[in-house]
Amino acid sequence: MIEPVLFFAVISKGKDDGLRVANALSQLMREDKTLRTKVDPDSGKLLVLGIGELHLDAIRRRLRRDFGVLSEFGPYEVFCRETIRTRLREEAKYIREHEGRRQFAHCVLEFEPLAKREGFEFVSAVKQGEISARHAAAVEKGAHDALQNGLLAGYPIVGVRAILVGGESRDGESDEMSFKIAGGMALRSGCGKADPVVLAPIMKCEVMVPEKYLDAVVGDLNGRRAKILEITGTGLKRVKCTAPLSAMLGYAGAVLAITDNTATFVMNPSHFEEIGKDSPPGTV
């Protein structure tokens, strides 16, 4: 399934409008499996995520026209990812007194980057008797939940394998919730030390343009840091390229303007690439 690469925030106008937004998005997501929502953990705003500018343009129109939503919509922002670049071992201990009862969990995890830089893998390699299968599953759940908000810019963490290699449980003190919390602690701490980096979405694009406008279109794409892959056709030219999504925002209007409304294009997510340490989020 194509993952979201762009989002906008929804600022509801009152409780009734907020409920209208929630019901509308619920229905739209049943119809469109590429549409997602997420609550920003810092601002508490509802975020609507999609696979491109035209996709979210259509969602905004439907929210207004079909559902009567009055909310304000924020500007489009690129939805990046985070990953790690080095292997690292991390341990976490969760020790707490709660309502007169001591809670304890100890886990040791090894984290390593996945070559494909997507997804999450969990492997339990603990010795028999160290941690039960039930507690190992709780560590996995805690680690998986902690992936949702990265440490660099709050984007989801992807491309990580977590190997549970050790730990300790204590009778009467260890439960699933304690191990879930410990798993999340280990992931956040470990990934923060494993040379983390932000990944920005790269789009694949095909532009169909009359030959007389070819130079203008290619020049504009080069200005958007596109990599031209292929130019084919006679009369009507087909330009294939990849480009950072952050540089392609507003492209629909731009390409029509420089070709007297004669060009057509298709753009879809391709892959993710690292952002330089000094670059702002959403750039490559």
What is the per-residue pLDDT across 167-209, written as a single tens digit (0 to 9) for each? Answer: 999 999 999 999 999 999 999 999 999 999 999 999 999 999 9
Domains and CATH numbers, the chain: 6-79 (3.30.70.870), 82-195 (3.30.230.10), 199-274 (3.30.70.240)
pLDDT of 264: 96
CB 173 within 8 A of CB 200: no
Q: If pLDDT is split at 50, 70 and 90, which confidence band does 276 have?
A: low
What is the per-residue pLDDT across 245-272, written as a single tens digit (0 to 9) for each? Answer: 999 999 999 999 999 999 999 999 999 9
What is the per-residue pLDDT across 222-248, written as a single tens digit (0 to 9) for each? Answer: 999 999 999 999 999 999 999 999 999
Q: State the Cα–Cα distance between residues 268 and 284, nearest whole angstrom.
A: 17
Region for residue 191 given its phi and psi (left: phi exceeds 0; alpha: psi -120 to 50; beta: otherwise): alpha
Average pLDDT over every residue of 212-220: 97
Q: State the Cα–Cα distance between residues 77 and 54, nearest whole angstrom.
A: 13
Q: State the Cα–Cα distance between residues 256 and 216, nearest whole angstrom.
A: 11
CB 103 within 8 A of CB 95: yes
Residue 280 has pLDDT above 60, yes or no: no
What is the per-residue pLDDT across 78-122, written as a single tens digit (0 to 9) for each? Answer: 999 999 999 999 999 999 987 788 999 999 999 999 999 999 999
Average pLDDT over every residue of 143-153: 93
- For 198, phi then psi, to 5°, come to -90, 140
Percentage, residues of the chain above pLDDT 90:
85
Residue 145 has pLDDT above 50, yes or no: yes
pLDDT of 279: 53
